[in-house]
Amino acid sequence: MRIVRTVAGNQLLRLVTDRQALFLLLAVPLALNFILGVSLQRAFSPDFKPDRPYRVALAAAQNNAAAPHFREVLRSAQEYGLITVREAVDEAQARRLVTERRTEAAVVLPPEFPARPALVIAEPGTVASAVVEQVVRTAAAAVVEPEAAAVPVRLDVVAVKPHRGATRQPGATEYYAPGMSVLMIYFAARYGTLSYLRDRATGVYLRVRASGVSRASYLLGKLAGNLVVTFLFMVAMTVATRLLFGVHWGDVRGWTLLTVAASLAAAGLNATLMALIRTPEVMDGVSAGLFQVLGFLGGSMLPLYIFPDVLARISHVVPNRWMLDGYLTLLGGGGPSDVAGDASKLAVAGFCLFALGWIIDGLHARSVGEA
């Protein structure tokens, strides 16, 4: 055990003295937390409106009797702050305004409207096109069935609990504090695996082995160092986001349970990658790509609340999603029992990945006579 502690302590010391690694692990996620938290704060608000109304060009035929009523309905969307409407002479001018980006969308009312449908011209796949299309559908329905459009609708506001045991939904800064942390936790664990591969490439590993240290002790020390580094990384991120952004991570017992399990999963994945990829240069590139994909699928970049159905289903089998779900539950007021399921899945995944990495590394060691 003394050798394991020595190897793990040496790994931690190397990280602490590596300024470039510390910058990557701490300054980058905190900067992204600030940028995303500030820029997307309004998107997390239940009364979300765009920063500025979407500009819409309206080309309506002069002899269209429904056009005045259509404009009246659009005016209500203007008053709410969703759109601003400017007139266009004809469809050609309306299209030109969109292609020249002087408006986000255009609406063309043919002379036969509503017998012929209204035309929405916009760049596909944008929020503006979706908003304008919905506004136009509402306006068209009001023209066709004005009595139905005038039927009052009562809004009953209820409190929504997005996560198990949570009593409130976090804001953007609170969301991205754990979001960025569970993305970068893999990079924190990677530091130890890269040092192991570099030690093998430079001959340090063989010299340590020649001094009487067994492969099992050396490898166990590296893996234990990974666990310590990842846990301390989460401690640093928790303290930093608390001091800089006022993020309260919730129940300490739940946080500890979840963080130990998350550290185990991150270190376990790196152990498997370390066993499969034997060179530090390849490990550096492959792992960076894989971790970013996991981060995207787990909700670290795109908020979980707006995931398409396909991505939402995929994310449920990604460890990042289990981590993020757990931390968001704690942020919302949950306790240890509310995150026990996520912690269990992470712990099982971590142990399995550790075992897989250990077995593969052992097979490789025997194949080259290092066992």
In this structure, of 32-41, 174-183, 188-197, 284-293, the range with the lowest mean pLDDT score is 32-41
* Residue 367 Cα distances to 57, 313, 363, 364, 371, angstroms: 71, 40, 6, 5, 8
pLDDT exceeds cutoff 50 at 240:
yes
Strand 83-87 and strand 54-60: the pairing is: parallel
Mean pLDDT within 181-202: 88
Alpha-carbon distance of 94 to 202, in angstroms, equals: 66
pLDDT exceeds cutoff 90 at 178:
yes
Which one has a higher pLDDT value, 159 or 33?
Answer: 33
Instruction: Please tell me the predicted confidence (pLDDT) of residue 155.
Output: 45
In the chain, where the domains are located: 2-41+171-367, 54-149
Instruction: Please tell me the predicted confidence (pLDDT) of residue 162.
Output: 54
Task: Check: CB of residue 259 under 8 Å from CB of residue 231.
Answer: yes
Instruction: Please tell me the predicted confidence (pLDDT) of residue 153.
Output: 44
Q: What type of residue is 145?
A: E
pLDDT range class, residue 11, cuts 50, 70, 90: confident
Q: What is the pTM of this model?
A: 0.71
pLDDT exceeds cutoff 50 at 157:
no
* Residue 75 Cα distances to 56, 72, 113, angstroms: 12, 5, 19
Q: Which residues contact 265 (CB under 8 A, 6 or more apart)?
A: 319, 322, 323, 346, 347, 349, 350, 353
pLDDT exceeds cutoff 70 at 238:
yes
Alpha-carbon distance of 45 to 173, in angstroms, equals: 12
pLDDT range class, residue 164, cuts 50, 70, 90: low
Mean pLDDT within 234-254: 94
Q: What type of residue is 78?
A: Q
pLDDT exceeds cutoff 60 at 46:
no
Q: Which long-range contacts (CB under 8 A, 24 or more apart) does 24-28 make?
A: 24/187, 25/184, 25/187, 25/188, 25/191, 25/233, 26/236, 26/237, 26/240, 28/184
Instruction: Please tell me the predicted confidence (pLDDT) of residue 161.
Output: 52
pLDDT exceeds cutoff 80 at 109:
yes
pLDDT tens, 294-350? 999 999 988 887 777 788 889 899 999 999 999 999 998 889 999 999 999 999 999
Residue 301, φ and ψ in degrees, nearest 5: -105, -55
> What would the two tokens of residue 51 be?
């920063």
In this structure, of 146-155, 196-205, 358-367, the range with the lowest mean pLDDT score is 146-155
Query: CA nearest 259: which of 364, 356, 178?
Result: 178
Task: Check: CB of residue 186 under 8 Å from CB of residue 287.
Answer: yes
> What is the CATH code of the structural domain delimited by 54-149?
3.40.190.10
Instruction: Please tell me the predicted confidence (pLDDT) of residue 196.
Output: 83
HSE-CB at 164 with a 13 A cutoff on CA atoms is 14
Q: Which long-range contacts (CB under 8 A, 24 or more apart) does 119-125 make?
A: 119/91, 121/91, 121/94, 121/95, 122/98, 123/98
pLDDT exceeds cutoff 50 at 222:
yes
Give the 3-state secondary structure of residue 85. Answer: strand
**Mean of the per-residue pLDDT values of the chain:** 84
> What would the two tokens of residue 92 be?
């050609």
Partner residues linked to 56 by β-bridges: 85, 105
